[in-house]
Structure 1
């Protein structure tokens, strides 16, 4: 999945129904969809987002900060850098 994939505009967190941020792979896997509001990440396996509530993984405060930094530095523009995951066309408001 790429940052400009139209599917990304309609994907939502299964718990709070808010938008997700695409984080590029960090060496292994296909990347991650991240909800900074709930501090949950959802894996992308073989190009398919795993968006079941049970597939999500809670992240620690330290990892949350690291993921936000990674999203802010992402040259693809997948994240907006403010930690909310909101904004842009098609973004839902929490």
Structure 2
């Protein structure tokens, strides 16, 4: 999955139905509101609630740094 993929505009978190952020280096989608990361396996986002991984606060801050703009 790449940042220009039109699918990113319609993919939503299965828990809060909000938008997800692509983490290219992590090969994952991230919900910063719930601190949940969803893996992308072979180009397919794994968006079942059970597939999401809860992220600790220090990891959340690191991931926010990866998604910050210039």
Band of TM-score, shorter chain: over 0.9
Answer 1 or 2: which has greater strand percent: 2
After TM superposition, what 4+ stretches of structure 1 lie above 3 angstroms from structure 2? none
Q: Count matched residues.
A: 70
- The answer for unaligned runs of 5 or more in structure 1 is 76-94
1:35 aligns with 2:31: yes
- The answer for unaligned runs of 5 or more in structure 2 is none
Q: What is the TM-score normalised by the length of structure 1?
A: 0.71
**SS of 1:62 mapped into structure 2:** helix
Q: Which one has more relative contact order, counting CA pairs under 8 Å at least 6 apart?
A: 1
**SS of 2:37 mapped into structure 1:** strand
Which residue is equivalent to 1:7?
Answer: 7
Partners in 2 of 1:51 and 1:25 — Cα distance?
Answer: 18
Deviation of 1:71 (Å): 1.0
1:62 aligns with 2:55: no
